[in-house]
Amino acid sequence: MTDGPLSDLLVLDLTRALAGPQAAMMLGDMGARVIKIESPAGDDTRGWGPPFIGDEDERESTYFLSANRNKESLVLDLKTEEDRDVLARLVARADVLMENFRVGVLDRLGFPVSRLHELNPGLVVLSITGFGHDGPEATRSGYDQIAQGEGGLMSITGTEKPTKVGVPIADLLAGMNGAFGVLAALHERATTGRGRVVRTSLLAGMVGVHAFQGTRWTVAGEVPGLAGDHHPAIAPYGLFETGTAPIQIACGSEGLWRALCTALDLDVTDARFVSNPLRVQHRDELIALLEAHFATDPAEHWLALLAEAGVPSGKVRTLDDVYAWEQTRSQGLLLSVEHATQGSLNLPGSPIRFDDNPFSGGRSAHLAPPTLGQHDESIREWLDS
């Protein structure tokens, strides 16, 4: 079907919403053939909006478009014996099956793991849940907003009150972790010849990115609070107001702090700021001192000065600015695809790029997200061949 490092793989994507579709799309970006199996009603995200594009009878959700490139769409009603038989035939040919049903749903549809591996001993199964497949709260539904709160991320995000991240980060991380686990299982299969079940969850994704905030509690016994716009363990490292717009500075070493002092003509011997722990302790005073300097000139002036001094800094871009930015485009992070009903579309690209490919992802060309059931006929013909 295509090229790419995973072009020999067939992935069955039975997932909906975002975590599972993200995982499947990542494999599709690398060249895998991904068949998205949808109910007659379609993936939930086909109805999530606005915004939508296209006429009412052919409208597409931009939410759906964000997570389903490089896939084919096959509609199956798994409540019918006929379509369950189609799925069984697909399972026999597949390398990977991904699902994010609530615990027990796939079993009730007639496809417990034992049967999947009877049909195909080499099948790698990815199962994504909200809070894990076992434990006292395994049956809870998994929604990103809930997981961000339950997993602790919101307790360290924001300034005056807990704040969710501006994208469904629990879903996205679960998808990324799932794709990583699948590739590990496929690598193992090359030796053993057998597949296995890979499990992850939205909760696991949240806990997995606690990083130093997690060890503040598990090791030091300190419960982190809202981090706001400044790093809780490094200063100066955060957002600063200027005469026109905010800028960001990251002084991650003593050398960079000294470079900042030289650039701004600050007293590097000020006893309050001579070490990072002291700067963190006196953070509010340091912010006030820096912003008093920055208030005198526009952001562009300070960014140029800091760049010349070698101090890491940057602006806060809006998304329209990000996608117009030449650096973004130079990395192949904006893809042009031809959609079946909407024509030419620009989509955000894969974050992975290979040395022999000017585009992000592992393919030389990318497929637009499919319309519902777009590939019903071609997939059934292939299955019968």
Give catalytic residue positions.
Answer: 171
CA dist 230 → 141, 171, 267, 319 (Å)? 33, 25, 22, 22
In this structure, the strands spanning 96-99 and 124-129 are parallel
The residues, any chain, with a CB within 8 Å of residue 114's CB and separated by 6 or more, are none
- Of 64, 75, 71, the residue nearest 31 (C-alpha): 71
Helices of type H across the chain:
19-29, 62-65, 81-93, 105-108, 113-119, 144-150, 169-192, 202-208, 211-218, 254-264, 276-281, 283-294, 299-309, 319-324, 326-330, 376-384
**Radius of gyration for the chain, computed over Cα atoms and rounded to the nearest angstrom:** 25
Query: How far apart (Å, rounded) are the C-alpha atoms in residues 126 and 184?
Result: 11
Given the structure tokens 């717009």, which residue do they identify? 245
Contact indicator for 22, 15 with CB cutoff of 8 Å: no
Max Cα distance, the chain (Å): 78
- Of 257, 254, 253, the residue nearest 309 (C-alpha): 257
What residues are paired with 133 via a beta bridge? none
First and final C-alpha spacing in the chain: 15
In this structure, the strands spanning 72-75 and 33-38 are parallel
271-309: b (≥16 Cβ within 10 Å) or e: eebeebeebbebbeebbebbeeebeeeebeebbeebeee
The residues, any chain, with a CB within 8 Å of residue 34's CB and separated by 6 or more, are 11, 13, 24, 25, 27, 28, 70, 71, 72
